[in-house]
Amino acid sequence: MSLQVIGDPVLHSKSPALHGAMLSALGLDIPYDARTVRRGELPEYLTWAEEHGVTGFNATMPHKEDVLPLLDEIHPAAAAVGSVNTVCLRRGRWVGFSTDGTGALAALRDGLGFDPAGACVTLLGAGGAAKAAALALADAGAARVFVCNRTLDRARQLCALAPSGRLVPAGLEGGTLARCAAQSSLLVNCTSLGMEGCPGQFEAFDFLDKLPHGAAVFDLIYHPAQTQLLAQAQRRGLPAMNGLPMLVWQAVLALEHFLGRPLDRKAMAAAATAALNEI
């Protein structure tokens, strides 16, 4: 039995450190390593993996969507999001899961003490991460999630995935963003704005002033550890968190799928966080 994370590029991944620490804490001698798999190489990889005893892998870019038609079974939550990040070999069948949305919720509850039930949320972006977070928040009982995106059609397409009507499409211009923020107890950034090495930055942060007292800010970016959004939120006294706790909880939930059993999630998160702090 062995585990891997695949992608291109992937050798920078923190997953081997996170999973290695958790497996060690469990007293399990199961190797977990990173393997470069380029776009178009997935069919060959799946054959190789099964022949070489790989019983599970995490998929990162560019494979989170490309792997879908190659799987024997897709968990409903992953099918709704349209991507997987965790794949397990079970009785000779490849089964895909997504821990993106559930990882985000676990990070919010553990790191910010935020309960989505009945809450209003402003969510920035309409890509894959935004889709996972928005659907998870809606499933967790959020009263309303404003999906704010520069391209309104993309926001509408995302919101149409939740028939409950809890997802509301909106633009990303200042006035609209301010109106959404004024009604929200949480703001989540799922865009690349502020990410190291990516072009683009927020033009202004006035919308943070519209958030109610006690509202929190969650930026899925973790490189850099403190984005301008987080710095501006903290300057205003708002509870704020980057994406590292989400990375940890995604790994915890993925390991449960790999091992096929529930784990002491708090203990696993603590082990994974300690490993992150040593990197």
Across the chain, which has 279 residues, the per-10-residue mean pLDDT values are 96 95 98 97 98 97 96 95 96 97 97 97 95 96 97 96 92 94 98 85 94 97 93 97 97 98 97 92
Pick the closest to residue 99 from 215, 217, 277, 255 (CA basis).
255
Contact (Cβ atoms closer than 8 angstroms) between residue 148 and residue 176: yes
**Can you give the pLDDT at residue 201?**
84
Contact (Cβ atoms closer than 8 angstroms) between residue 81 and residue 128: yes
Give pTM, 2 decimals: 0.93
**Can you give the pLDDT at residue 100?**
95
* Two structure tokens written together for 202: 């927020």
**Residue 206, C-beta contacts closer than 8 angstroms, at least 6 positions apart:** 174, 178
Amino acid at 259: L
**Can you give the pLDDT at residue 117?**
97
Q: Which of 14, 64, 131, 266 is catalytic?
A: 64
Q: Is 266 a catalytic residue?
A: no
DSSP 200: -
**Residue 85, C-beta contacts closer than 8 angstroms, at least 6 positions apart:** 58, 59, 60, 64, 97, 98, 99, 100, 250, 254
